[in-house]
Amino acid sequence: MSSHPANSSAPWTFTSEGDHCLIIRFGDSIDPAINARARQAAELIHNADLPYISDLVPTFTTLGVYLHPFYPNPPARKTLIDMLTATLAPLALQQAQATDALSESTEGSDVTEATRLIRIPVCYDPDLGIDLADIAKHCNLTVDEVIQLHTADPVRVFMLGFAPGMAYMGLSDSRLAIGRRGTPRQHLPAGSVAIANRQTVIYPNDSPGGWNIVGATPLRLFDPNTPPYAIYAPGDQVQFDAISREHYEQIKAQQYATR
């Protein structure tokens, strides 16, 4: 594995991961601005329609560029890096302009993006939010305060990972700061809503998991038979809406009646 700083002024670095993957790194912290640049880079490369690229995977701070393993006469690694650097030139210019504009600001994450707002109903009934009491105790809050903070403001979908349709969303209010559980559970039902490290995940299918469960959503989050498969995508904003147990059961019955 080697690192390639394509040029000294580019606000990213390249790292080779095996023979058919490059990782483009835009930073090393969970920050909406860094995440936005990874997504914007994916869009620029996708629009360039380079035939030897098979997949683009944006994450919190990086973009994975995957190459077709059997593409005839692929470009040499240095040539590929030079081509990607040229493709990302508009992003470098945008970041330089943003840095100049924000030179007097202490916030480095003011990035304008076209995003969707996805509303997700969550039932915080204690039978579903099995860790609510422990979360409240750890955070020195009441259960009602935990729910209020979790539903207060939209959170960003940083990336999908771990399981198909599973989004990592944040950042939550700092008063909800709590780590992962010491011992993961072997089974959590689909729709379980969980928090850790100022983020929220929702398990789209029955799954093991080590995060703290605050509630459950009745929505089907992932359907492999219906594009675009997941109800949200990286860059979307998600607003959690508290619902009653009765409303939860009604929506769930409707959602799963068509399976």
**pLDDT tens-digit series, residues 195-215:** 999 999 999 999 999 999 999
pLDDT on residue 10 = 73
CB 15 within 8 A of CB 3: yes
**pTM greater than 0.85:** no
Where residue 107 falls among pLDDT bands split at 50, 70, 90? very low
Q: Which CATH class is domain 117-256?
A: mainly beta
- Residue 155: count other Cβ atoms within 10 Å of its Cβ: 22
On the question of pLDDT at 112 being above 50, the answer is no
Question: What is the distance between the alpha carbons of residues 246 and 213, in angstroms, rounded to a whole number?
Answer: 19
Query: How many Cα atoms within 13 Å fall on the side-chain side of residue 64?
Result: 13
Residue from 165, 166, 172 nearest 214 by CA: 172
Amino acid letter for position 256? Y
On the question of pLDDT at 104 being above 50, the answer is no
Question: What is the distance between the alpha carbons of residues 129 and 3, in angstroms, rounded to a whole number?
Answer: 44
Mean pLDDT of 46-68: 94
More confident residue, 228 or 238: 238
More confident residue, 166 or 255: 166
Omega before residue 171 within 30° of 0, cis: yes
pLDDT on residue 113 = 56
Where residue 46 falls among pLDDT bands split at 50, 70, 90? very high
Residues 6+ apart with CB under 8 A from 106: none
- Burial, 7: exposed, middle or buried (Cβ in 10 Å; 0-12, 13-18, 19+)? exposed
Cα separations in angstroms, 66 against 23, 57, 107, 199: 9, 8, 33, 27
Domain ranges of the chain: 3-101, 117-256
Where residue 256 falls among pLDDT bands split at 50, 70, 90? confident
- What sign does the dihedral 97-101-104-105 (CA atoms) show? negative
Domain 3-101 has CATH 3.40.50.720: no
Question: Which residue carries 């039902």 as its tokens?
Answer: 189
More confident residue, 237 or 257: 237
pLDDT, tens digit, 9 for 90 and up, residues 14-33: 999 988 899 999 999 999 99
pLDDT on residue 199 = 97
pLDDT on residue 5 = 47
Question: What is the distance between the alpha carbons of residues 95 and 27, in angstroms, rounded to a whole number?
Answer: 13
Residue from 157, 153, 154 nearest 169 by CA: 157
CB 233 within 8 A of CB 221: no
Buried b (16+ CB within 10 A) or exposed e, 76-93: eeeebbeebbebbeebbe
On the question of pLDDT at 8 being above 60, the answer is no
